[in-house]
Amino acid sequence: MKSNFSKILDSEIPVLIDFYADWCGPCKMLAPILKEVKEELGEKVKIVKIDVDKNQELASKYQVRGVPTMILFKKGEQKWRQSGVLSKEEIKKKISALH
């Protein structure tokens, strides 16, 4: 997972990482919003969901203290980070700013 994860983050296309947990209510609210973002932006973004309980090392590496936490990367560089649930429009705006 780790070497693949670095390759994913190095993408020219913005990569939105969604750190979530199955037991987290707000994470369940965010999931359909991210699905709509992906449907609307298509190939302009990659969205990767990371379960913090199954990937504690990654969550720790990125200092994820609460879920959901979204981190947006482009070419391996962190461009934006936000905890909590945001609207589809807010998320799309952040992604589109990187194009």
* Residue range 73-84, pLDDT digits in tens: 999 999 999 999
Nearest to 47 by CA among 60, 34, 36: 34
Cα(85)–Cα(11) distance, integer angstroms: 25
- Hey, is 34 helix, strand or coil? helix
Cβ 75 vs Cβ 10: under 8 Å: yes
% of the chain exceeding 70 in pLDDT: 97
Average pLDDT, the chain: 94
Residue 27 annotated to the active site? yes
Residue 24 annotated to the active site? yes
Among candidate residues 13, 24, 58, 85, the one labeled active-site is: 24
Which one-letter DSSP state was computed for residue 40?
H
pLDDT of residue 6: 86
pLDDT greater than 80 at residue 50: yes
Alpha helix (H) residue ranges in 42-76: 56-61
Cα(67)–Cα(53) distance, integer angstroms: 11
pLDDT of residue 2: 58
